[in-house]
Structure 1
Amino acid sequence: MEKNTSEMKMAKLDKSSEKASQFKEMFGMLIKNRAALVGMIIIIFLVIIALIGKFIEPFDPNVGQLSESLQAPSSAHLLGTDEQGRDILSRIIDGTSISLRVGVTSVTFALTIGIILGSIAGYYGKRVDMIIMRIMDMILAFPSLLLAIAFMTALGRGIDKAIIAISIVTIPEYARIVRSSILSIKESEYVQAARVIGNRDSAIIFKHILPNVISPIVVRATLGISSAILDTAALGFLGLGVQPPAAEWGSMLGSGRTYFFNAPHIVLFPGIAITITVLAFNLFGDGLRDALDPKLRN
């Protein structure tokens, strides 16, 4: 009995050390990818800005003086002021937390629902699979931004509504990835063995199948954050997303486009912020995909 217990402990230690070795190898490959490393550094920087932004903003991002409106970048206002005299640097810093919050929250919600629906469809198949995936196909039949606008029109404006709208239109992407991954391995020997020893379906799905298909899900979620940030900016540009006076990069573009020829800095700097953020998540997602691919690691 003691011998069996010691053997089980040794097996667990070997398994944990193997996982640690794989993680170390994956992280090392990710670091060697310069583009992914740059993306990761930018993301870490943005997260820090989002956390401490309130303490480093030079001015109140929602309060301005009309007498200082449309000022070009200067020592007083490093990125200039907008049409209401508000400091653009302060608004971009404040908008960082909004964009990241919408991106991460909407992806988390869509990923959770997508994993559940995709797991049910892929594992049970037949009529359940047909019903779920036809609903997903109906959602995918519409352009995501157009469908998000429709949801925003029905739900109303605001950051919470934007999160819900963006989440709903991206659920099918995660559901299809999970379904296809489960279909490819649900007849594997270890899954069959789990069925034979009497494991419940939920245990088989979440303990034996999903951990082995997590790589494509993580990569798609990382890339999905950049798409969610773009959709948030597009909704804000159209006046359907985050409402004034809250500082959101897309709404800053929308309100400043009228003054583009007189004061181009109003739209230039929010546009740069959107571009850098989306590019960072895309670079990191591509590097993460390569690092999680065992063929490329070998």
Structure 2
Amino acid sequence: MKRVGILFQDRLALLSFFIITSTLLAGIFAHWIAPNDPEEVHMELRFASASWEYLLGNDHLGRCVLSRLIYGIRPSVLWVLATLTISVGIGTVIGFIAGYYKGKIDAILMRICDIMLSFPGYVMTLAIIGIFGVGLQNILLAFVLMKWSWFARIIRTSVMQFSSAEYVMFSKTLGVGSLQIIWRHIVPVSLPVIAVTSSSAFSSMILQLSGFSFLGLGVQAPHAEWGMMLNEAREVMFSRPELMLAPGITTILFVSAVNFFTDALQVAFDPKLRSKGKKKQLKGIIQTANLQGKEVA
């Protein structure tokens, strides 16, 4: 409860949390929230202006832009979040095993991670698309294959720092089990790093999926997705700029909210981060994670 109070003392974090939860709920209950069928074509309403029935107007096929924007949350955010959860879960388990037990186990797992990280992320994604074809599921598969090793290496670095702490060594001396030590002593202090790296990956994965969909390699018509909506509106970007502004602003707003909320989440997990020393320590870990993330991408 104390951490929640610290978290929501920041007004920006509160606003970001509202944007994130509202977006997720809108995606989950899109069937009841969307005012119209997102795939229903009305050629007589082609490029129609905003009205009470169509608040954001209609696209080149007369479809409701607002409804497509709401339904686009599912592939753009919800499916990416599910993929991120799987990647983080795999990377966390491997990272904790490698960082805590070290030795031969660490060497073997890290060599596997090195092999996975040796492939550029975009190249691997394009290779999977070339083998299995275009589509959302293939891009999400590529995300899981490429991201888990990145999470494993970053989390392993954090675990190795904390596993050598005096209180951990003292617990081992008392005969406390490894799983109990990991759960009670290492997991809580590793949460800020996991939260930061997850947020950074979440934001980048949303942008990457939108980018692939914009290029026609991701979500396919007639399904709605923010990147594909940008692609469909680019031909009329000067005459009807609102068709590009709606999905563009939505993407920027949600990604920014995720980043701002995670910054506040760091402080909530560890209030000592307000001191300069701790900020520099975590900043170094985050920068390492971002640099390795760029190498993977």
TM-score, normalised with respect to structure 1: 0.82
Provide the residue aligned with 1:132 in structure 2: 109
Q: Are residue 64 (structure 1) and residue 15 (structure 2) matched?
A: no
Q: Are residue 151 (structure 1) and residue 135 (structure 2) matched?
A: no
The letter of the residue matching 1:222 is S
The letter of the residue matching 2:256 is L
Structure 2 distance, partners of 1:195, 1:154, is 49
Q: Deviations over 1:233-252 (max 9, x none)?
A: 11211222222211110111
Aligned match of 1:177 in 151, 154, 157? 154
The letter of the residue matching 2:209 is T
Task: From the superposition, tell whether residues 155 and 201 of structure 1 become closer, same or farther in structure 2 (CA, over 3 Å).
Answer: farther
Aligned pairs, number = 275
Contact 2:24 / 2:78 at 8 angstroms: preserved in 1?
no
- Once the 2 structures are TM-superposed, how far is the Cα of residue 281 of structure 1 from its aligned partner? 0.5
Contact 1:29 / 1:297 at 8 angstroms: preserved in 2?
no
Structure 1 distance, partners of 2:124, 2:262, is 25
Runs (5+) with no aligned partner, structure 1 = 1-22
Provide the residue aligned with 2:97 in structure 1: 120
Contact 1:120 / 1:129 at 8 angstroms: preserved in 2?
yes
Aligned match of 2:22 in 45, 49, 52? 45
Contact 1:148 / 1:166 at 8 angstroms: preserved in 2?
yes
Structure 2 distance, partners of 1:203, 1:160, is 37
- Once the 2 structures are TM-superposed, how far is the Cα of residue 30 of structure 1 from its aligned partner? 1.5
Q: Are residue 292 (structure 1) and residue 269 (structure 2) matched?
A: yes
Structure 2 distance, partners of 1:295, 1:47, is 31
- Once the 2 structures are TM-superposed, how far is the Cα of residue 201 of structure 1 from its aligned partner? 4.4
Q: Deviations over 1:1-51 (max 9, x none)?
A: xxxxxxxxxxxxxxxxxxxxxx41x22222121221211111121122123
Aligned match of 1:260 in 234, 237, 260? 237
Task: From the superposition, tell whether residues 210 and 292 of structure 1 become closer, same or farther in structure 2 (CA, over 3 Å).
Answer: closer
Task: From the superposition, tell whether residues 98 and 192 of structure 1 become closer, same or farther in structure 2 (CA, over 3 Å).
Answer: same
Task: From the superposition, tell whether residues 143 and 80 of structure 1 become closer, same or farther in structure 2 (CA, over 3 Å).
Answer: farther
Contact 1:291 / 1:297 at 8 angstroms: preserved in 2?
no
Structure 2 distance, partners of 1:257, 1:101, is 25
The letter of the residue matching 2:249 is I
Structure 2 distance, partners of 1:142, 1:37, is 38
Q: Which region of structure 1 is more displaced relative to structure 2, 263-272 or 73-82?
A: 73-82
Task: From the superposition, tell whether residues 257 and 156 of structure 1 become closer, same or farther in structure 2 (CA, over 3 Å).
Answer: same
Report the secondary structure of 2:252's partner residue.
Answer: helix
Report the secondary structure of 1:62's partner residue.
Answer: coil
Aligned match of 1:35 in 9, 12, 19? 12
Structure 2 distance, partners of 1:286, 1:145, is 27
- Once the 2 structures are TM-superposed, how far is the Cα of residue 256 of structure 1 from its aligned partner? 2.1
Q: Deviations over 1:70-110 (max 9, x none)?
A: 22333342212111111100100111133221221111011
Provide the residue aligned with 1:269 in structure 2: 246
Contact 1:102 / 1:232 at 8 angstroms: preserved in 2?
no
Report the secondary structure of 1:275's partner residue.
Answer: helix
- Once the 2 structures are TM-superposed, how far is the Cα of residue 279 of structure 1 from its aligned partner? 0.9
Q: Which region of structure 1 is more displaced relative to structure 2, 135-144 or 54-63?
A: 135-144
Structure 2 distance, partners of 1:265, 1:134, is 49
Structure 1 distance, partners of 2:183, 2:127, is 34
Provide the residue aligned with 2:140 in structure 1: 163
Contact 1:102 / 1:228 at 8 angstroms: preserved in 2?
no
Provide the residue aligned with 2:190 in structure 1: 213
Q: Which region of structure 1 is more displaced relative to structure 2, 136-145 or 71-80?
A: 136-145
Structure 1 distance, partners of 2:40, 2:198, is 36
The letter of the residue matching 2:151 is Y
- Once the 2 structures are TM-superposed, how far is the Cα of residue 288 of structure 1 from its aligned partner? 0.8
- Once the 2 structures are TM-superposed, how far is the Cα of residue 62 of structure 1 from its aligned partner? 0.8
- Once the 2 structures are TM-superposed, how far is the Cα of residue 60 of structure 1 from its aligned partner? 0.6
Q: Which region of structure 1 is more displaced relative to structure 2, 47-56 or 196-205?
A: 196-205
The letter of the residue matching 1:182 is V
The letter of the residue matching 2:227 is G
TM-score, normalised with respect to structure 2: 0.82
Aligned match of 1:191 in 160, 168, 187? 168
Q: Deviations over 1:247-281 (max 9, x none)?
A: 11011112222222332222221111111111111
Structure 1 distance, partners of 2:121, 2:36, is 36
Structure 1 distance, partners of 2:233, 2:72, is 15
Percent identical: 36
